[in-house]
Amino acid sequence: MKITDVRCYHLSYPLQEAFANSRTWVHHRTAHVVEIHTDSGHIGWGEGMARLPQEATKTHLLGRDPFDSRRIWLDLAEHGWGNIAAISAVDIALWDLRGKALELPIYQLLGGASRHRIPAYASGLFRRERADNTAALVDEAQGYADAGFGAIKMKVGQGIGYDTTNVGAIRQAIGKDILFAVDANCGYDVGTAIAVGRRLAEHDLYWFEEPVGANDVAGNIEVRQALSSLPIAGGEQLQGLTAFRDMISQRAFDIVQPNLSIAGGFTECQRIEALAQAHGLRVLPHMWGTAIRLAATVQWHATIPDEPEGISPQPSLFEFDMTENGLRTQLACEPIKTVDGYVPVPGAPGLGIEINRQVLERYAVQ
């Protein structure tokens, strides 16, 4: 099988209602997508967090065999493609092609599924421009509980008053049995993260995500040690195995959250997973993107074993983005949806989805 064509797309979906995490207001959902054609007629799809240079991509990919995906990854990284978030898109598309050529889902190429439905957490609860933010957040959280989710995640990092008021109100509304994580998106310095974390820990939180800078090894360690009863999660912004090395080996996190479209695709994320497991850390992939990244993350997450395996392991929770994004809900002909709080794992070849080209063209921009 040889690569015959490469097409790059930049997609933008305008939101009906803007929302914010601790760092920014989101008005559009954007994505960088690659489509790779082969002489066998198979087409592979991938998504990366950074824009692909179309002509350079063609130069390096035309005539190559998708089964040389690790070799291609290394060649792209060596030839000036320092941006692993762009290489990620190519890698995901090559694994999609390999699966389609062999008529196997990617989870089988990765060594087999540990689970065929993944317990999900509802990832939402952003800040919005509303008259009563607390009431709106409580309503949203209650909706997730009513839909069968056993876990939810809320955006914090918005100041100690906002965080404590809203986390307390939501915990009271959902009761004790639902796992409740919070995510500060690197919105705090170390001292503030510790002060806020101590207050929030009273509400029985499952983890505190990105309390401080994404690359701050010492800062994350300090927060983790100070908040000994509250697990620290992070890693969604890190690119490549080396970026994870010190974070994992020095145990800056309890839970490692690589993103397939940022960290380097299946090829690199398998290595990051192995490094984390060797250090006794849980791996719960981060997911924030289109139907392509959702499908890819489902394939990988299905294969990650419980560590240790037992009769009642910690749940391997899938991050299911509940916010508005037509690129996630419309780009696949049959979108992946949760059922009673679980994500079913598609068994079709490759990523297990078909792309709706009308939707792709509708949201393509220059």
Strands (E), 73-137: 117-123
CA gap 199, 310 in Å, rounded: 33
Which residue matches tokens 């008529």? 103
Compute the least distance from the CB of residue 319 to Mg ion, in Å.
8
Which two tokens mark 2? 């040889």
CB 254 within 8 A of CB 232: yes
Identity of the residue, 125 or 331, whose beta carbon is nearer to Mg ion in the bound complex: 125
> Using CB under 5 A, which residues numbered 115 to 134 contact Mg ion?
none
Compute the least distance from the CB of residue 111 to Mg ion, in Å.
27
Compute the least distance from the CB of residue 137 to Mg ion, in Å.
17
Instruction: For residue 163, state whether it binds Mg ion (rule: CB under 5 A).
Output: no
> Order of strands, edge to edge, in the sheet holding 3-20?
43-48, 25-38, 3-20, 364-365
Identity of the residue, 83 or 123, whose beta carbon is nearer to Mg ion in the bound complex: 123
Instruction: For residue 268, state whether it binds Mg ion (rule: CB under 5 A).
Output: no
By DSSP bridging, strand 255-256 and strand 282-283 are: parallel
Identity of the residue, 97 or 184, whose beta carbon is nearer to Mg ion in the bound complex: 184
Q: Given CA atoms 143, 212, 89, 15 in this order, what sign does their dihedral have?
A: positive
Q: Given CA atoms 235, 239, 241, 243 in this order, what sign does their dihedral have?
A: negative
How many residues bind Mg ion (CB under 5 A)? The answer is: 2
> Using CB under 5 A, which residues numbered 199 to 258 contact Mg ion?
209
Q: Is 32 a catalytic residue?
A: no
**Interface segment toward Mg ion; rule CB under 5 A; list 28-36, 112-120, 180-188, 247-255:** 180-188
Identity of the residue, 209 or 321, whose beta carbon is nearer to Mg ion in the bound complex: 209
CA gap 269, 263 in Å, rounded: 7
Compute the least distance from the CB of residue 157 to Mg ion, in Å.
10
CA gap 295, 337 in Å, rounded: 10
Identity of the residue, 183 or 268, whose beta carbon is nearer to Mg ion in the bound complex: 183
Which two tokens mark 322? 């509940």
Instruction: For residue 183, state whether it binds Mg ion (rule: CB under 5 A).
Output: yes
Residues making contact with Mg ion (CB under 5 A) = 183, 209
The set of catalytic residues is: 286
